[in-house]
Amino acid sequence: MVEILTADLFEKVKAGLPAEASISEIRFEGSEIVVYTKSREFFTGDSSQVRELVGQLKKRIHLRPDPSITEDIETAEKRIREIIPAEADIRDITFQPEFGIVNIEAIKPGLVIGKGGETLREIKGSTFWSPVVRRAPAIKSDVVRTLRELIYKEADFRRVWLDKVGKRIHSGWKPTEWATLTALGAFREVGRSCLLIRTPESKVLLDCGVKPGSNEYPYLSLPEADITKLDAVVLSHSHLDHAGMIPFLYEMGCDAPLYCTMPTRDLLVLMCMDYIEIANREGRPAPYTTKGIKEAVKRCITLDWDQVTDITPDMRLTLLNDGHILGGSLIHLNIGDGLTNLLYTADLKFDRTALFDPASTMFSRAETIITESTYGLPTDIQPRRWEAETALVDIVKKTVARGGFCLIPSFAVERSQDVQVILARAKLDVPVWLDGMVWDVSAINTAYPEFLGHEVQRDVMKGWNPFTLPMFKHIGGQEERKKVLEAGEPAVIISTSGMLTGGPAIWWLRQLAENKKNSLVFVGYQAEGTMGRKIAKGWKEVPMEENGRTRGLPINLEVATVDGLSGHSDYKQLLNFISRAHSRPQRIIVNHGEASKCIEFARNASRIFKVDSFAPELLETIRLL
């Protein structure tokens, strides 16, 4: 069945192209079709015939050169460097003969592309390689470099595997008579987000996270959640409560594609590597090793926002801006050729922030919306954004004026960069030290400005990059921390972890807690049971382990909580998102919140929108169709 349908599709592609195209091979790359040509004239000529074929077949089709017509690598690289203006600042050129692709990485990719794509066409016509342009991080990032190298090294594996994925997607499907959702994590709780979507044809997992501050993982032992039989895994974003168990899937034998945006892939690696390191440091076993991370990356298919792609024979996926985190996405699934549509918000922010535009509401039909409810009570109303930003800047100024350190424990991804942009725009004359993973995450942000809000994008394009300002300084280890402390000069320290559950923020708290000149500023959610929650609630002394012994640490420094900087929507924003959605749902399912908030938000959503709305329990299965 697979071979017949695939051959039929490929025959239609071949029949739609002229004989002089000299097609040597047709393959799948996931849901996309790649056509290899032995004709230099056809490769560099008018592409209208390929565009017409795309319109007829409703499939993405790429034209690539057969290896027999490409220039040798040494000559091709020399010509590329001659064609691209020096101002583009090329950082790397990497060839993938298996795909006929040359990857060009530059600080200014626009100059590599040229006006109207003119420079790319010249590269293509001169070297007969298919150029792909990547932005080099403005701040050196070992994560981005290592990941790109890994993808290039695994080209042989990916070529065969992507073809297999494509054959599965195009294998035909039984009528979609039903579709279900099974709650494997983050229902009536926060953490370990995981949902299983099933039809007679497909099994797709949405997110797979861990619970912060615990060893609680999704319920993956259910027979219907067999890891080895998944057709696809879709990751909304890289926070550990959504992504922390993704490598486990691949270490345990999952061979399904992992769909996400490119920055989500990069941040996933950074977060999970840190997760393993912290577990080892604390003497507890991590649920996976670096092998699981590598296997996940090898099987990752990255998508842009608003790009529609088939992921199984009866499901199409679209990722949309979630307003929450770099590359973070709302997940829209079209099931059964439109029989039903589902939107899973994961975490969303329906408000403009220093970093991002509000979450997108421009999705087609969504009979079912699965929404978070982190702030799901009517009393969960955050201050206006400008008020929160002003409050943060004010307390930093106060702390510096009295000669103190301002410690901001923050989530490495999103919140830290949000704070950086706020402080940069305030033009504070004070060093801001970035500790833990914050520096590396900020470097990744500089590689993907197209996933930032339009305002930040405009600033970057005009030459003002908030992440590269000299006020931001990197702390590389313990010796540098001691030097900053011993210098005694007023400063801001942005450090992981955001809930004071570990990371260098704990070291800084030990050093700064007893001095009234200093301040501790919370800028994010503090989960129940965490050190951050205890201090935010007013504890004047907290237990602190030091050299194998526990002592009481007096909290004498000023403690402040700046509400309104959350990457989650408050109660009104959640309702506004649903009401302004391009498509009104028939059903609202509530998750990702404390039990009382899930239940209350579901009750209120049902009353306000006059639709079925409920908060399922863990392990409950709901019929969507």
Give the model confidence (pLDDT) of 280-296 as tens digits: 888 888 999 999 999 99
Q: Domain boundaries in the chain?
A: 70-136, 172-379+567-623, 385-561
pLDDT, tens digit, for every residue of 468-513?
Answer: 999 999 998 999 999 999 999 999 999 998 899 888 999 999 999 9
Predicted confidence (pLDDT) at residue 2 exceeds the cutoff of 50: no
Cα 322 to the center of its chain, rounded Å: 10
Distances in Å between the Cα of 62 and the Cα atoms of 43, 262, 393 are 11, 20, 50
Predicted confidence (pLDDT) at residue 4 exceeds the cutoff of 60: no
> Rounded to whole angstroms, how far apart are CA atoms 181 and 622?
5
Q: 70-136 — its CATH code?
A: 3.30.300.20
pLDDT, tens digit, for every residue of 192-214?
Answer: 999 999 999 999 999 999 997 67
Query: Which of the four pLDDT bands, split at 50, 70 and 90, describes residue 542?
Result: very high
Predicted confidence (pLDDT) at residue 453 exceeds the cutoff of 90: yes
Crossing angle (nearest 10°) for helices 595-609 and 571-580 = 40
Token pair in block for residue 296: 């996940």
HSE-up (13 A, CA, CB side) for residue 266 = 28
pLDDT, tens digit, for every residue of 60-82?
Answer: 999 999 999 999 999 999 999 99
User: 385-561: same fold as 172-379+567-623?
Assistant: no
526 near 536, Cβ under 8 Å?
Answer: yes
69 near 127, Cβ under 8 Å?
Answer: no
pLDDT, tens digit, for every residue of 48-62?
Answer: 899 999 999 889 999
The CA radius of gyration of the chain, in Å to the nearest whole number, is 25
Predicted confidence (pLDDT) at residue 273 exceeds the cutoff of 50: yes
Query: Which of the four pLDDT bands, split at 50, 70 and 90, describes residue 5?
Result: low
Task: Please state, rounded to an integer, the average pLDDT across all residues of the chain.
Answer: 94
Q: What is the pLDDT of residue 283?
A: 85
Distances in Å between the Cα of 469 and the Cα atoms of 26, 248, 492 are 48, 38, 15
User: What is the DSSP secondary-structure string of 407-452?
Assistant: EEE--TTTHHHHHHHHHHHHT-SS-EEEETTHHHHHHHHHH-GGGS
User: For residue 527, which of 241, 105, 118 has the smallest C-alpha distance?
Assistant: 241
pLDDT, tens digit, for every residue of 312-368?
Answer: 999 999 999 999 999 999 999 999 999 999 999 999 999 999 999 999 999 989 999
272 near 300, Cβ under 8 Å?
Answer: no
Query: Which of the four pLDDT bands, split at 50, 70 and 90, describes residue 143?
Result: confident
> Rounded to whole angstroms, how far apart are CA atoms 600 and 597?
5
> Rounded to whole angstroms, how far apart are CA atoms 254 and 258?
10
Query: Which of the four pLDDT bands, split at 50, 70 and 90, describes residue 114?
Result: very high
Q: What is the pLDDT of residue 165?
A: 97
Q: What is the pLDDT of residue 212?
A: 74
Overall fold of domain 385-561? Rossmann fold (3.40.50)
Predicted confidence (pLDDT) at residue 527 exceeds the cutoff of 80: no
Predicted confidence (pLDDT) at residue 391 exceeds the cutoff of 80: yes
Q: 172-379+567-623 — its CATH code?
A: 3.60.15.10
Q: The whole model's pTM is what? A: 0.94
Distances in Å between the Cα of 227 and the Cα atoms of 173, 288, 299 are 21, 14, 14
Integer distance in angstroms from the first to the last C-alpha of the chain? 27
314 near 336, Cβ under 8 Å?
Answer: yes
Query: Which of the four pLDDT bands, split at 50, 70 and 90, describes residue 269?
Result: very high
418 near 325, Cβ under 8 Å?
Answer: no
User: What is the DSSP secondary-structure string of 582-602?
Assistant: SS--SEEEEESS-HHHHHHHH
Percentages helix, strand, coil for the chain (3-state, rounded to 5) are: 40, 20, 40
* Residue that is written with structure tokens 């080099």 in the block: 136
69 near 43, Cβ under 8 Å?
Answer: yes
Predicted confidence (pLDDT) at residue 525 exceeds the cutoff of 90: no
518 near 432, Cβ under 8 Å?
Answer: no
> Rounded to whole angstroms, how far apart are CA atoms 213 and 530?
7
